[in-house]
Amino acid sequence: MAHHADDQLETVLLQLLRGSGLPGIAAMPSLTRFAEGWLARPLLTRSRVELEAWVREEGLTWIDDDSNVDERLDRNYLRRRILPLIYERWPGAATAVSRSARHAAEAQSLLDALAHAEVDRASYGESLSVKSLRALPPSRRRNALRFWITRAGWLAPDTRRLEEIAGPLLEARHDASPFVEWGTAHAGVRVQRQGDLLSLHAAGVGHDRAEIIWHWRDAAACDLPDNLGKLELDPDDRGPVDLDALPEALTIRWRSGGERLSPRRGGPRRALKNLLQEAHVPAAERSRLPLLYSVTPTAAQLIAVADLLLDETVQATPDASRRGRLRWKKP
């Protein structure tokens, strides 16, 4: 890339005006990993004036993009209105600010090394131990969380959400299941706590999946979307499902919150959230669970949660004439 020292100055100033931290102030590195190779910016130490002079001496031609004069764009406004005043007062501004950007990059690399070690100590598979994180001072806790999130390929949270994760979410009751989300509708991120573990996954997974109608008498298996495998309902003389109690068509949906069912005959209807917590189902797995409903024109009743839970209305009794077993086969 042909980015030069003036581009670096513009980038640092824009990041400062946005309230960015060290990664933003470090601006553009001269060499960084890109795809399976490298992205290099060999001209970051050269100014625009130097490059234009060289181009003219060599008799080269160039193209000016018309959009570069549109001062509605922040970078153009900064370049055309603000930087001439800065250079008039501080001619060496680009060189000095580029040096500051390199200092910021070096400081960030040290913070990343510290975070790497602390995340490794707190790791439990892909999750993090809440107890280990709470043992860290607040600043190191935030640093470790930011590193954990970005290393996984997700967009880093803003300051407010990062503080919410590092504070209230980690301090919540042990039996709670709080979460923090950020990002866009198509690239949202969720950090969720379950007991002593912190998990990281896409936000709203399952919320935009269309429901599926499964005519189980005609097809013993039903394929699920998004690489979630399939559901199978097989005859089984010792199976827990009363096949005669099932409707002709089962409706498959995913969690949206507030679901309830009665897993014990004669017992109360209970919140699915609490039942999954008691079953120690990881938070990241809950949004993937297919939920089976009996749907009528006036109501929809949850009757099964994958192959984990059955509502009492479809549980087989000893005198059930036809029994079966529901299986969720993951890929």
Q: Where in the chain is the domain with CATH 3.30.465?
A: 125-202
pLDDT at 302: 94
CATH of domain 125-202: 3.30.465
pLDDT at 85: 97
Q: Identify which of 116, 97, 95, 117 has the alpha carbon closest to the alpha carbon of residue 105.
A: 97
Q: Which fold has domain 5-101?
A: Rossmann fold (3.40.50)
Q: Where in the chain is the domain with CATH 3.40.50.620?
A: 5-101
pLDDT at 284: 65
pLDDT tens digits in sequence order for the chain, 331 residues long: 999 999 999 999 999 999 989 999 999 999 988 877 899 999 999 999 999 999 999 999 988 888 989 999 999 999 999 999 999 999 999 999 999 999 999 999 999 999 999 999 999 878 899 999 999 999 999 999 999 999 888 888 999 999 999 999 999 887 777 889 888 655 678 898 878 888 887 775 555 567 899 999 999 999 998 888 999 999 999 999 999 999 999 999 988 777 899 999 888 999 898 898 888 887 667 878 999 999 887 778 999 999 999 999 999 999 999 999 999 998 7
Cα-Cα-Cα-Cα dihedral sign, residues 193, 198, 203, 206 = negative
pTM of the model: 0.60
pLDDT at 154: 85
pLDDT at 14: 96
Kindly report the CA angle at 86 between 83 and 92, in degrees rounded to 5? 105
